[in-house]
Chain A
Amino acid sequence: MRVADLSLPLSLAALVAVPFVFGDFTAYQIGLFLLYGSVAQGVALCWGRVGILPLGQALFFGLGAYLGGGALIRFEHSSILLYPALLGAVLAPATVAGAIGILVFRRNVGSGPYFSLITLALSMLAYQVALGADWLTGGYMGLNGIPPLPGTDPWSTLYWVILGALVLSTGVLLWITRSPLGQLLHAVSQNEDRLSFLGFDIARLKALAFAVSAALAGMAGALYAAQQGIVTPQVLAYVLSGELLIWTAVGGRASLIGPAAGAVLIGMLTSNLRDRFQYWEILLALLFLAIVLFAPTGLAGLIAPLLKRLPKRVHAMRDVERPLPDRGDMPMLSFEEVRVTIGSVRILQGLTLELKKRGLHCLIGPNGAGKTSAFNALMGRLSVSGGRITWGGRDITGLPAHKVARLGIARKLQVPAIFHDMTVGVHLDIALWSGGISARELLSQRSFRYRNEILGVLKEMFPFLNDEEKRAGDLSLGHRQVLEFALSVIARPEVVLLDEPCAGLSTQETANLTAAIRKIAGRFDISALIIEHDFSVVEELSDHIFVLHQGQTLSEGTLEAIRADHKVQAVYTGGTK
């Protein structure tokens, strides 16, 4: 059995034993930190898995606590309304978080400090509102006299409900992390660009994870109200948000039960030592710093190596054949007088270029001609200041990358972009899902069993793709280039943009990849637009060539026509590398 498989039942057994061994009062104390543990698990989902750091998670815990407390008071005698209202205490924080997430992430590629500071500011705001709105929240004194959950006693039996909630949150998180959705969330932290070029909406994935974490916080908050019988603005306070971060860090941000263990361990230690040992808080801050600097995986990471010998997870058999998407003629891709300016530098100066029919197209030109910039403009990564880009007559100028990708325009970057810590198998999965995946498929284990015809051909040409358990970061540069090429073509796009696909490869590897591009493109009707400097590759892969110079199309035609063109000879004397 694997570590995670074994540690779950063991921790559960220990927690079940607590009331019998240590008595109800200790169980009551531990129960409080188990609630915080559920919140910390949500923080870990965002921080450890997706790579976004929520600094104001107490906002959602507090929201759940106020809503839950209010529901318990208001509907004390009508259980028909009580349970839906309690459910609201879980769903409302999730909705708020989802909305904040979309609002922030849509506008802000990357996971910089903006999200963290905005969540912090929001929690500060909620604290002030709770303190000020006496009529609603009871102000400084808080909501008092909250009745217990029907049929439970906060000092004894509620412990089992809290334990049940922790099992539920652990179960939900385990289910999510093992599902295709969990793999996509992890991929976000590894390489956002790559994932959005495959057509996945990063903002939605991040907002979704944030919403799930807020739902867990809301659930814990509502139970907190039932356990404590009082909710004061302290549940929203900045201090709690900070403690959540420390518990998560100590327990292990990448772990499932680590954060809950961290909450119980550090929380119990703190409540016992805070008054007796005046340097405790300083010690804790130093511990946090040490973990950030030297041991990012926390306690969970310290335990893991002890069980390293256990066999790693084997990728599922691929026995579900996915049909390739049908389609008619390729929509025409055209750049019309496209202009891109950065600062005072004019990168594209009225670039006009049309991909009229299927085939292999090469984009050549001296350095600085605007080749990669043309790709970036198409994928919405550079803002276009003039002209337009159309696809089948539709104006797609400025469309974000994932939407362009969903039209059937795939892209491979020059320096191979892959998800370093993930296995080759999961890369292939993500590529197979990139053609479109339903919500049900996102949560189904069956989605790991997909295969298609293109994957079959690729595996035949590149046997290393069969070693699906191998970590992608351990592959050689040549294999990474092939892997990223595979990522971009497996879902059968209409057009694939390849930015120097053979950069850094040996002659043999170049020949192999060139052959693969020709074969896949020809057999599956995928057009390619290839940036290339190496003329041996251009000779092999060009039905049609565009020559770019100073942000404009200088000339176009077949290789012979280009070679005979005096304008081209003047600015660009071709040769092999």
Chain B
Amino acid sequence: MDASLFFLLNMGYGVLTLALVALGLAVIFGLLGVMNMAHGEFIAMGAYSAYAAQSAGLPLFVSLPAAALVTGAVGWLIEATVVRHLYKRPFDTLLATWGISILLREGIKLAFGVDYKSVVEPVSGSTGVLGIDYPNYRIAVMAALLVCFFLLFLWYRKSHASARVRAMIANPELAAIVGINTKRLASLAFVIGAASAGIAGAMLAPLVQIEPYMGINYLLQSFFVLVVGGLGSFHGLFIGSGVIGGVASTASAAFGGTGGYVTLLLISILFLWLKPEGLYAGR
């Protein structure tokens, strides 16, 4: 009983954080059609921002806005200098963002070195949940994410910004004609995608090993989520995170790390084969 509850909590944690990790890639791919190969490096930058904040002796709650600010600014710069010129050339955006991922990674190496870093949890200790002890920080992260996603969902359904974004996806030319500044909107979407990746990195920083190559696995996980869930909707993001997060924690528990990875990959290929549009493709 205890073991299974623990497992369920871990799974819930896995699914929620995966949704956060994948959000940035989903926003940028879903809205702009750009597969941002540097997504993992944005997450790494968020984690390193948290580390830098800690090293500078700043209180740890500063690290989230700091990470969002840093990654958002880098995202804006990249969109304005490189990605903007390539929207009509999807193959080249793939290559260019891949080049950017190397650039960012090498930048991180130069600034922080190649060794592992760690960040201390801002909330320590653990709480008894139905008879088992669960780390407080994980509980805090889960609660914060549930609230954030709920708010995001409401905003997406209600606000004019989301209507404009949806109009831009449906027909960029027409959206421009009716007075939507598609250029600024595209830039904003990229910045939001980058910043959300940064927040994800900062939030996960106390729980993972921070090193320059950490990004690649986040990129692949997020990609699997998109393959399974489909594009362009919140439902898809959560279904994808649920399937991938659920499978990952179950399979890792059953077959170990490599076995879990094999299972993930096979499931993603299976989805690509059977449901190339994903489980929830509706835009």
Q: Spell out A's residues near B (CB within 8 Å).
A: 51, 53, 55, 103-104, 106-108, 111-114, 116-118, 120-122, 124-125, 128-129, 132, 238, 242, 245-246, 249, 278-279, 281-282, 284-286, 288-289, 292-293
**Which of A103, A279, A281, A292 contacts B269, CB < 8 Å?**
A103
The 7 closest A-B pairs by CB, nearest first: A113-B35, A285-B103, A285-B102, A289-B99, A281-B106, A288-B99, A292-B95
Chain B residues lying within 8 Å of A238, measured Cβ to Cβ, are 213, 216
Contacts of A124 in B (CB 8 A): 216-217, 220, 261
22 contacts between A and B (CB under 8 A): A51-B91, A104-B272, A113-B94, A118-B272, A120-B220, A121-B220, A121-B224, A125-B262, A132-B257, A132-B258, A279-B110, A281-B109, A284-B102, A285-B102, A285-B103, A286-B103, A289-B96, A289-B99, A289-B103, A292-B95, A292-B96, A293-B86
**Nearest CB of B to A278, in Å:** 7
Measured in the bound complex, the distance between the Cα atoms of B102 and A297 in whole Å is 21
Report whether A282 and B272 are in contact in the complex, using a CB–CB cutoff of 8 Å. no
Task: Determine if A289 and B272 form an interchain contact, defined as CB atoms under 8 angstroms apart.
Answer: no
Is B265 a contact of A122 with CB atoms below 8 Å? yes
Residues of A within 8 A of B135 (CB): none
Given contacts A108-B276, A121-B268, A288-B99, A282 and B107 within 8 Å (CB-CB): yes
CB pair B272 A245 closer than 8 Å: no
Our pick among B94, B103, B257 for the contact of A53 (Cβ within 8 Å) is B94
Write the nearest CB–CB distance from A45 to chain B, whole angstroms: 16
A48 smallest CB distance to B (angstroms): 12
A117 touches B220 (CB 8 A): yes
**Contacting residues, chain B, for A114 (C-beta < 8 A):** 227, 272
Known: A117-B219, A118-B272, A285-B99. 9 other contacts (CB 8 A): A104-B272, A107-B276, A113-B35, A113-B94, A117-B223, A124-B261, A125-B261, A128-B261, A292-B92
Partner of A111 from the list B91, B219, B258 (CB cut-off 8 Å) is B91
Q: Does B142 reach chain A (CB closer than 8 Å)?
A: no
Bound CA span A103–B262, Å:
16
A117 touching B35 in the complex, CB below 8 Å, given contacts A125-B262, A282-B110: yes
For chain B, the count of residues having a C-beta within 8 Å of the partner chain is 37
A120 to B37, CA, bound (A): 11
Instruction: Give the nearest-CB partner of A113 in chain B.
Output: B35
Q: Which of B102, B216, B219 has the most CB of A within 10 A?
A: B102
Q: Is A125 within 8 A of B265, CB to CB?
A: yes
Contact with A along B200-232 (1 / 0, CB 8 A): 000000000000010011011001100100000
Complex CA distance for A219 and B91, rounded to whole angstroms = 29
User: Could you tell me if A108 and B272 are in contact, using CB atoms closer than 8 angstroms?
Assistant: yes
Complex: A245 Cα to B102 Cα, angstroms: 12
Known: A51-B91, A289-B96. A282 touches B269 (CB 8 A): no
Chain A residues lying within 8 Å of B220, measured Cβ to Cβ, are 117, 120-121, 124
A209 to chain B, nearest CB (A): 16
Report the minimal beta-carbon distance from A430 to chain B, rounded to whole angstroms.
23
Contacts of B258 in A (CB 8 A): 125, 128-129, 132
Question: C-beta contact mask, B57-89 vs A, less than 8 Å → 1, else 0?
Answer: 000000000000000000000000010011000
Return A114 CB to nearest CB of chain B, in Å: 6
Which of B107, B213, B257, B272 interacts with A107 by CB under 8 Å? Answer: B272
Tell me which residues across on chain B come within 8 A of A112, comparing CB atoms. 35, 90
CA distance A108 to B261 in the complex (A): 23
* A238 to chain B: closest residue by CB: B216
Task: Return the contact of A293 from the options B85, B106, B216 (Cβ within 8 A).
Answer: B85
